Structure 1
Amino acid sequence: MGNTLGINTGDAGITYPYLVDYRQFADLFIYPANEGYKKRVLDIYDHLVEVLPEAAAALEPFVKFTQSCTLSDIQELFLRSFDLQAITTLDIGFILFGEDYKRGQLLVNLNTEHKMAGNPCHTELADHLPNILNLLPKMKDDSMRCELTTRLLIPAVLKMKDEFSTDRVQKKDVVYKKHQKILLESSQQYRLIYQYCLKALFIALENDFGYDAAVNEFLTQQSEQNDAAGVQGNAALCSGPVPQADYTRSIDTEMKIEKE
């Protein structure tokens, strides 16, 4: 776990012993509405160069892309990555649970955390990645912050990052073409450019909070056993196991429902 660099959380009562300011990371995953987006990309890059050079190196290809391309190019790649015929979604609950009822449970609990922290979600849902990243430094309960990060956020970021593999992108293109009959055009050279944002974010989260996939799997198995035994979980953000939702299958199902 990293050391604090005096990140201003806006509340003197909050202890935040982590290297990275995730509010700056959140800016990467908000629609690039104007040229200020390029400046915000440079700001997070400079921040990472100072506190976590490994994460800065992972982000560098994205920085070079944003500084050399037009705003419309960036907007197009953002939409193709996270919105229109998307590679992945930015809603971590959907990534982890798909249409499972546990996503609803998670949204209810996250809404409570956002309200307690005074963190506005604007027009997005409570599990939207930028909202979660903005929430982290505002949470007063560090154990809850760690649970949110290690049990939900990091596994979701890993799955989102994996969705940018060439094989998975091709499978999603097949699904989109089947349902929508046409594929939107996009830059083939930069089609997967947002994966570098996710790679840098994972490096930062792993460094600050730690992550052990084997431990996470053990906790999931324990939750499954408790669920089977009818044991109520603690006041966690999401009690019970984290299912391994298949995003490609989830969007296929969602599109079928929309047609009915």
Structure 2
Amino acid sequence: MSLLPLAVAGAYLVHGIGRSRIVAALSMPALVGVVVMTLSRSALAVVALGAFLFAGRAGRRVAITTLVLGILGALVLIPLYLDTRVEPTRLTSLEVLFAEFFTLGDAHRAAAWQAALKMGLDSPLIGQGFRSFMVLHAAYGEPLLQAPHDEWLRLFAEEGIVVAAAGIGFALAALTCLWRDRTAVSLGAFGALLGWAFMATFNNPLNYAQVNIPIFLVAGTAIGLAIAPSRRPQVPSSSEV
């Protein structure tokens, strides 16, 4: 949820004018701080990706500057993130830093991915059935997690390859439509939907209505505005020429 207002603020920072750009700029530190405080690695990664893409809209120099600042920020934030989980005295080498970046939950997540993949391969066309991972997860090798922590794999495991391809295709088509419409509303919706799609690779956002309703409401509204006939240039008919 914290990614939605951040994406909108970032969009108005790029495409806004006057007061809207000022308000967006003033709100950015607080909104970024909220995302950082979640300690979510996927959220921070998609913020970095979104910042680079948004900066690209403002020009190549801005994008390069953003990339450099992002790398410097990562060098600062990653050790701070690790300090919240382990004793500082243990962080003595890059090898240890890399090892400590991953958590016990990552092992369960990887096992859940393997279980979902096995489920899908057992019934690739139609899947195992809606919400079947909750029932079959232990039989396929993950006794703890009742969700695959990857919504794209969930679609493949539970609904089959056709539905999974349709879901991925919908996400790509929606993102493409929003990216091509060069307005603040569409760019903000693009950032929010990109964040949802990216984090859906590591989490279970489809389980939470409080996440899906605002994200898809904003994305759907922006897509509707982007393709609305009233916004297309009017071409006179042959009888009017």
Relative to its length, the structure with more helix (as a share) is 2
Q: Between the two structures, name the one with larger relative contact order (CA 8 Å, sep ≥ 6).
A: 1
| Greater gyration radius | 2
Give me the TM-score of the superposition, normalised by structure 2: 0.26
Give me the TM-score of the superposition, normalised by structure 1: 0.24
